[in-house]
Chains A and B, each alone.
Chain A
Amino acid sequence: MVAYMTLGYPNVNDFYEFVDNVEDFGVDILEIGIPPKYAKYDGPVIRKTYKIVSNNIRNYYEILHEVKERIKIPVVILTYLEEYVDKLGDFLLKLKESRVDGVLLPDLLIDYVDEYEKYVNLIKNEGIKTVLFTAPLMPDDLIIKASKLTDLFLYYGVRPTTGVVIPISIDSLINRIRTMVQSKLIVGFGLNSIEDIKKAMSVGADGIAVGTSLIEEVDKNGVNGALELIRKLRGVLDEYY
């Protein structure tokens, strides 16, 4: 299970409390969002957290460094290549210094598809793992290629944006990709109903990524609410392992 949280949300203390506990509640990989100026493929809930965090926090890397001190599970950064494309070397160096494990750039295979291999190599050369983001709108051959390049897992965003529950046929979307790729397959984007998660797992997903619903829990019931949701979803996943 991959859990997403925006860096330093809702405030630095609560964020650390979340980080300290995620592993115990059943998270395998922690995904941390660094706010970009334009979260092109994110829904309103995550966009709102970016706004709050970027108003409140100066030094993101300091916090990342601290996160790595506190937990052992892999930490993957989520942000947009668009934001760093002109200063990628500098960015990768800072990520390396904060010892995060990997980076996921949802716009890499969409807006930079003509030169994505170049960027994948740049990232790997820094010793940082690249988690590739794919989506149903991608052609079959690109998905297959990406699955061979990706580290840790292949991220499959089944909806056009995070957190907006557009009606889709989860089973047929996942069936298609499962028959094409051998890599570990984590499904996300708008996954929040138990029914959707069960469907995803029963047709061959290796796990799920949740973000928006965790943030909604934090907003409603604080960090404990989010942790409890993780425990509950973990229980659902465990039925399939």
Chain B
Amino acid sequence: MVNSFDIIPKYWYNIIPDLPKPLPPPRDPQDAEFSRIDLLRKILPKEVLRQEFTIERFVKIPDEVRDRYINIGRPTPLIRARRLEEYLKTPARIYFKYEGATPTGSHKINTAIPQAYFAANEGVSHVTTETGAGQWGTAVALAASMYDLESTIFMVRVSYEHKPMRRTIMELYGAKVHASPTDLTEFGRKILKENSRHPGSLGIAMSEAIEYALENNYRYLVGSVLDVVILHQSIIGMESINQLEAIGEEPDTIIGCVGGGSNFGGFTYPFIGTKKGKKYIAVGSSEVPKFSKGKYEYDFPDSAGLLPLVKMITLGKDFIPPPIYSGGLRYHGVAPTLSLLVKEKVIEWREYTEEEIYNSAKIFMKTQGIIPAPESAHAIKAAIDEALEAKKTDDKKVILVNVSGHGLLDLSNYESMKNRVMKK
């Protein structure tokens, strides 16, 4: 099959005007010495910031961006998980959207491309970002190279040392990758002075990336949480709607995993907005229990507190997850729109343990042959549970699940998960 231009939507979908309640605006902390909202103007590309605050329901995808989407293999496949259905002996039909089919292995490229494009359009020559395990950094490195931008990636030192292959991929795409904390920024130097072998953290890497962008008048690209990122990720849901229509299916239950909320929001919001589907399930990790233990309050999106406060379900910006399987679900908060929809009970949530998702990932590997990203395995676990539930009542419902990435670069995580689960 040749990539189909017809399936790829021309518009991103924005849920803001369709929310049941006003979305609390971002704000500066009480007695702030500087305005974080003002800071956004200096670090984000103009058009990215404009889209962050747009209320248009449908935002046109620039032709150049749509072209790049096609270039990276969009539309990504929507696959009926027949072998999984047979294995579970469920009457439900299970479909999964496979974002792992993109070159960088996850949905992150969907927002990296437009952000890099908008930066390049403004005459910016260089972009920065942070990365933990490397999914987001890889996506930025590729997107930057597409628009002949230079990129500097601040990679948390422990990952830099333990995930050298991720670093290699970023460097092959042309990025400069530094183990954070670095001596390139004031913040990094301060940390290094206290501890020259500091293992780093996402918060530190983020502060460094922002400071480096500010200092050099580069632009900073954002990986999740902000509304604009979910807007760009809505390509996943819009595409799925077209793909389902093409085969005459209507979904009942729609499922995704939640780190910051971008793949989940991008996947489900177009369905919620057009009133397709009956049940939406957001899946987090039991080890980062933000849905069950988090509070709905204003908090910083970044651990360093450089971005404006937003109202969200959060465990607090200083939350440190236990040292189990790593991955993109360790984030302390839930994107503001998603938090609001969970509060208003439009969206349900689940949380699963490492052991539960390991076993579900194994079933998915066995039946569909795909090694899912550990994050995505959470959504798969919920889909399996829903399918087994349907079996009890002989419900022939349609379950739609987003597999946000493949796990081929997370093999060391699977290795350590396996060891822990076996020990039990």
Residues of A within 8 A of B (CB): 37-38, 40-41, 43-44, 47, 109-111, 113, 135-140, 142, 159-161, 164-169, 172-173, 176
- For chain B, residues 1 to 27, give those with C-beta under 8 angstroms from any C-beta of chain A: 16-27
Residues of B within 8 A of A (CB): 16-28, 30, 32, 34-35, 37-38, 40-41, 46-47, 49-50, 53-56
Contact pick for A41, options B20, B23, B25, B50, CB 8 Å: B25
Write the nearest CB–CB distance from B31 to chain A, whole angstroms: 8
A137 with B55: in contact, given A109-B22, A110-B22 (CB under 8 Å)?
Answer: yes
Cα distance A40–B53 in the bound complex, in angstroms? 18
Cα distance A110–B24 in the bound complex, in angstroms? 6
Determine the main DSSP class of B at the interface with A: loop
Pairs A–B under 8 Å by Cβ, sample size 27: A43-B35, A43-B38, A44-B34, A110-B24, A110-B25, A113-B22, A136-B16, A137-B24, A137-B25, A138-B22, A139-B18, A139-B19, A140-B17, A142-B22, A160-B25, A160-B27, A164-B35, A164-B38, A164-B41, A165-B41, A166-B41, A167-B41, A168-B50, A169-B50, A169-B54, A172-B55, A173-B55
Contact indicator B55/A136 (Cβ below 8 Å): yes
For the complex of A and B, 5 pairs with smallest distance between CB atoms: A138-B22, A160-B25, A38-B30, A137-B23, A136-B55
Cα distance A176–B58 in the bound complex, in angstroms? 13
Complex interface: chain A residues within 8 A of B35 (CB): 43-44, 161, 164
Complex interface: chain A residues within 8 A of B50 (CB): 166-169
Contact pick for A137, options B22, B40, B46, B47, CB 8 Å: B22
Complex interface: chain B residues within 8 A of A138 (CB): 22
Complex interface: chain A residues within 8 A of B37 (CB): 43, 160-161, 164, 166
Contact indicator B22/A139 (Cβ below 8 Å): yes
Known: A139-B18, A166-B50, A167-B41; 5 extra A-B contacts, CB below 8 A, are A137-B22, A160-B27, A164-B37, A166-B53, A168-B53
Write the nearest CB–CB distance from B44 to chain A, whole angstroms: 9
Complex interface: chain A residues within 8 A of B28 (CB): 43-44, 47, 161
Contact indicator B24/A111 (Cβ below 8 Å): yes
Complex interface: chain A residues within 8 A of B56 (CB): 169, 172
A139 with B17: in contact, given A40-B27, A113-B22 (CB under 8 Å)?
Answer: yes
Contact pick for A135, options B22, B46, B47, B49, CB 8 Å: B22
Complex interface: chain B residues within 8 A of A43 (CB): 28, 35, 37-38
Cα distance A163–B312 in the bound complex, in angstroms? 25
- Interface centre among B27, B32, B50, B55, by most chain A C-beta atoms within 10 angstroms, is B55
Cα distance A142–B18 in the bound complex, in angstroms? 11
Instruction: Please give me the residue from chain B that is nearest to A140 by CB atom.
Output: B17
Write the nearest CB–CB distance from B78 to chain A, whole angstroms: 31
Complex interface: chain A residues within 8 A of B34 (CB): 44
Contact indicator A161/B24 (Cβ below 8 Å): no
Complex interface: chain B residues within 8 A of A37 (CB): 30
Complex interface: chain B residues within 8 A of A140 (CB): 17
Contact indicator B30/A135 (Cβ below 8 Å): no
- Interface centre among A37, A40, A113, by most chain B C-beta atoms within 10 angstroms, is A40
Complex interface: chain A residues within 8 A of B55 (CB): 136-137, 172-173, 176
Write the nearest CB–CB distance from A117 to chain B, whole angstroms: 15
- Interface centre among B20, B23, B25, B49, by most chain A C-beta atoms within 10 angstroms, is B25
Cα distance A43–B35 in the bound complex, in angstroms? 7
Cα distance A159–B56 in the bound complex, in angstroms? 15
Write the nearest CB–CB distance from A98 to chain B, whole angstroms: 27
Cα distance A168–B54 in the bound complex, in angstroms? 7
Cα distance A110–B26 in the bound complex, in angstroms? 12
Contact pick for B25, options A161, A169, A173, CB 8 Å: A161
Instruction: Please give me the residue from chain B that is nearest to A139 by CB atom.
Output: B19
Write the nearest CB–CB distance from A200 to chain B, whole angstroms: 15
Instruction: Please give me the residue from chain A that is nearest to B18 by CB atom.
Output: A139
Contact indicator A113/B41 (Cβ below 8 Å): no
Cα distance A44–B35 in the bound complex, in angstroms? 6
Instruction: Please give me the residue from chain B that is nearest to A138 by CB atom.
Output: B22
Write the nearest CB–CB distance from A210 to chain B, whole angstroms: 18
Cα distance A111–B298 in the bound complex, in angstroms? 11
Contact indicator B27/A167 (Cβ below 8 Å): no
Contact indicator A159/B53 (Cβ below 8 Å): yes
Contact indicator A160/B46 (Cβ below 8 Å): no
Write the nearest CB–CB distance from A132 to chain B, whole angstroms: 12
- Interface centre among A41, A138, A166, by most chain B C-beta atoms within 10 angstroms, is A166
Instruction: Please give me the residue from chain B that is nearest to A161 by CB atom.
Output: B37
Complex interface: chain B residues within 8 A of A136 (CB): 16, 53, 55
Cα distance A136–B38 in the bound complex, in angstroms? 19
Write the nearest CB–CB distance from A122 to chain B, whole angstroms: 21
Complex interface: chain B residues within 8 A of A172 (CB): 54-56
Complex interface: chain B residues within 8 A of A167 (CB): 41, 46-47, 49-50
Cα distance A142–B21 in the bound complex, in angstroms? 8
Cα distance A172–B25 in the bound complex, in angstroms? 19
Complex interface: chain A residues within 8 A of B53 (CB): 136, 159-160, 166, 168
Contact indicator B20/A139 (Cβ below 8 Å): yes
Cα distance A191–B54 in the bound complex, in angstroms? 16
Write the nearest CB–CB distance from A212 to chain B, whole angstroms: 12
